[in-house]
Amino acid sequence: MSPHRPVIAIYPGSFDPITKGHEDLVRRTLRVTDRLVVAVSSTSTESKEHLFDINERVELIQEIFAKDDHVEVSRFDGLLVDFARDLGAQVVIRGLRAVSDFDYELQMAQMNQELGPEIETLFLVPEVEYSFLSASLVREVASLGGDVSRFVSAVVLQRLKEKIG
């Protein structure tokens, strides 16, 4: 009999900013893995301008999960499968909010499968209350003066107010 090999998962994204939907997926992931690395991408597959720089995004996530020893936060650039191999991760976590997310996420998962067949992609759906939520939507509503307090943690809300005014 072989000893238990800890299951290490990576949850990659831009997290600009991290939302309660992201937090929900982190907590749900910890139900099925031993350790989770929230991997903040310093590059983006989409052309978009970030509200928070990478160091700010990493700091926010570290603050939110400071009391959870099973969650680590790291920045990365380059190929996700290379980063996963470097960490010894076996699983990549991706969130699906709606059918519209599926096409893109499936393509990414299949490419990652080709590049790193030893790494599995696990799709998770958020709680229903967060199924519509995205960081870009939070940024947009906040920039127009809307109340996003239900969608982000207090530390993120404070930083949004400082950034946006």
Give the global pTM. 0.92
Do the strands 35-41 and 8-13 form a parallel or antiparallel pair, or are they unpaired?
parallel
SS3 115: helix
- How far is residue 117 from each of residues 6, 96, 113, 158, measured CA to CA in Å? 19, 21, 5, 41
- How far is residue 145 from each of residues 21, 99, 157, 161, measured CA to CA in Å? 21, 29, 12, 9
**Banded pLDDT at 43 (limits 50, 70, 90):** confident
**Tens of pLDDT along 114-152?**
999 999 999 999 999 999 999 999 999 999 999 999 999
- Per-residue confidence (pLDDT) for residue 57, from 0 to 100: 97
**Tens of pLDDT along 61-116?**
999 999 999 999 999 999 999 999 999 999 999 999 888 789 999 999 999 999 99
Give domain limits for the chain: 8-164
Superfamily of domain 8-164: HUPs (3.40.50.620)
Q: Name which of 11-20, 52-61, 128-137 the model is least confident about.
A: 128-137
Q: Residue 120's Cα: distance from chain center in Å? A: 16
Could you tell me if 19 and 131 are in contact, meaning their C-beta atoms sit under 8 angstroms apart? Answer: no
Flag whether pLDDT at 1 surpasses 50: no
